[in-house]
């Protein structure tokens, strides 16, 4: 299908995709509770005559499939979108703002889902499809590892629908990138994300007699400071790592030294070796720092998402296809990895994959509300670009 015809189809569908996006925005659902969103996806696929399987990854995941129209087709091209919202009270003031108190689409997953639905509907009307296409609508990207569950349940290995996926693509709306522009880079694009819970066990007592106690708050405060040396002194200056303590809980009264102090935080890294180093040094620092204050430090390390690592060949394919489709001026090499995380990384561990960023920043604007802010709203003007990028990759990768 030539460019004019494809864009004509996209333009025809854009109003209904915008309506679907705003419906999802009005009715956001937290991870593994995306029942209404999943039902919307299933209705749209059914109306388009697209085969799908539902009920995955806890019940809300959906995999859809379009066969190739050529007998010599290779493995499938996989396209993925996430569907879940965040526990944030919306402050956009939009007429379609969330009707669910304390829950909103602050990360643009409503837009991702609408664009993947658009790509499926467009491709279903394309007569010449050289590649089979697998569409993955996953729950629980926001901390629930829905992508891993989709992979484990056969979303891309050919056990549910169609042949195994040979190359996977996904996108994320990006408020710091100009509207109509796409960007990515080979290798690490987003970080591995791990969480830690530290319990400092001391001996409580009267605040007026600290010499009879072993103060876990003082030990915890020293741990917070000491943990900052992991990035500054243990990690190669040319590498990247973030160690952030985001919560401290201890005590209930002004005149009581509590028996324990709890620290909670996150670690972000871009290399497997650095990830292991950060965990090892964190455990050592907590143990010895707590011990120096007469306390015991207990670390619970919770592995999160792996590094989102773009495969060189898949990324090269993305740049080639996107440049031809959108024009070289609209396709950028992203300058550096970011320390946010993405469970698209689980797909990238299974098959060659490329994750790319889709610009949302309106023309002439210097900034817009960022992801995970209460004022954030997906820019509907980005929908045609996202749909076209998905379609071109499905047809030409």
Would you list the DSSP string of 123-165?
A: HHT-S--SS-EEEEEES--SSS-HHHHHHHTTSSSSSSSSSPE
Q: For this structure, is 84 an active site residue?
A: yes
Determine the length of the chain: 397
User: Burial letters for 128-167: b for 16+ Cβ neighbours within 10 Å, e otherwise?
Assistant: ebbbbbbbbbbbbbbbbbbbbbbbebebbeeebbbbbbbb
Nearest alpha carbon to residue 40 among 12, 19, 56: 19
Show Cβ contacts of residue 284 under 8 Å, excluding neighbours closer than 6 positions.
Answer: none
Tokens, residue 266: 């996150």
- The single residue of 141, 194, 309, 377 carrying the catalytic annotation is 141
112 in Cβ contact with 81 (< 8 Å): yes
- The single residue of 29, 82, 84, 110 carrying the catalytic annotation is 84
Nearest alpha carbon to residue 375 among 88, 34, 87: 88
Q: State the Cα–Cα distance between residues 172 and 191, nearest whole angstrom.
A: 15
Q: State the Cα–Cα distance between residues 352 and 309, nearest whole angstrom.
A: 9
Tokens, residue 135: 């569409």
Q: For residue 58, is it left (φ>0), alpha (ψ between -120 and 50) or beta?
A: left
User: Burial letters for 5-43: b for 16+ Cβ neighbours within 10 Å, e otherwise?
Assistant: ebbebbeebbeebbebbbebbbbbbbbbbbeebbebbbe
Would you list the DSSP string of 77-130?
A: EEEEEE---BS-------TT--SSTT-B--SSHHHHHHHHHHHHHHHHT-S--S
Q: For this structure, is 370 an active site residue?
A: no
Catalytic positions, written as ranges: 84, 141
């Amino acid at each position: 299908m030539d460019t004019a015809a494809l864009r004509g189809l996209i333009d025809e569908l854009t109003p209904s995709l915008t309506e679907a996006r705003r419906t999802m925005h009005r009715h956001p659902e937290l991870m593994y509770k995306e029942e209404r969103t999943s039902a919307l996806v299933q209705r749209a696929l059914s109306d388009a005559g697209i085969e799908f399987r539902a009920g995955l990854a806890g019940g809300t995941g959906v995999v859809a499939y379009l066969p190739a129209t050529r007998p010599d087709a290779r493995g499938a091209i996989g396209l993925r979108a996430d569907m879940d919202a965040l526990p944030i009270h919306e402050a956009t003031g939009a007429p379609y703002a969330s009707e669910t108190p304390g829950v909103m689409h602050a990360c643009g997953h409503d837009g991702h889902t609408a664009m993947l639905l658009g790509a499926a509907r467009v491709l279903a009307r394309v007569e010449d499809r050289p590649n089979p296409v697998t569409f993955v609508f996953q729950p629980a990207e926001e901390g629930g590892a829905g992508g891993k569950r989709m992979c484990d349940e056969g979303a891309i290995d050919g056990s549910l629908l169609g042949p195994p996926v040979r190359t996977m693509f996904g996108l994320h709306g990006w408020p710091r990138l100009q509207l109509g522009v796409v960007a990515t880079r080979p290798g690490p694009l987003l970080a591995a994300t791990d969480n830690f819970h530290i319990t400092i066990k001391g001996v409580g007592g009267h605040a007026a007699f600290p010499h009879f106690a072993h103060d876990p708050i003082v030990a915890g405060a020293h741990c917070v400071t000491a943990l900052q040396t992991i990035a500054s002194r243990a990690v190669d200056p040319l590498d990247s790592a973030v160690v952030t303590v985001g919560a401290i809980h201890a005590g209930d009264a002004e005149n009581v030294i509590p028996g324990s102090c709890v620290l909670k935080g996150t670690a972000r890294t871009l290399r497997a070796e650095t990830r292991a180093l950060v965990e090892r040094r964190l455990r050592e620092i907590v143990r010895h720092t707590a011990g120096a204050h007469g306390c015991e430090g207990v670390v619970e390390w919770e592995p999160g998402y792996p590094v989102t690592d773009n495969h060189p060949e898949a990324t090269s394919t993305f740049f080639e296809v996107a440049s031809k489709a959108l024009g070289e001026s609209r396709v950028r090499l992203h300058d550096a990895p970011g320390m946010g995380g993405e469970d698209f990384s689980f797909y990238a561990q299974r098959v060659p994959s490329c994750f790319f960023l889709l610009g949302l920043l309106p023309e002439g604007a210097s900034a817009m509300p960022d992801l995970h802010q209460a004022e954030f709203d997906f820019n509907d003007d980005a929908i045609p670009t996202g749909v076209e990028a998905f379609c071109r990759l499905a047809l030409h990768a």
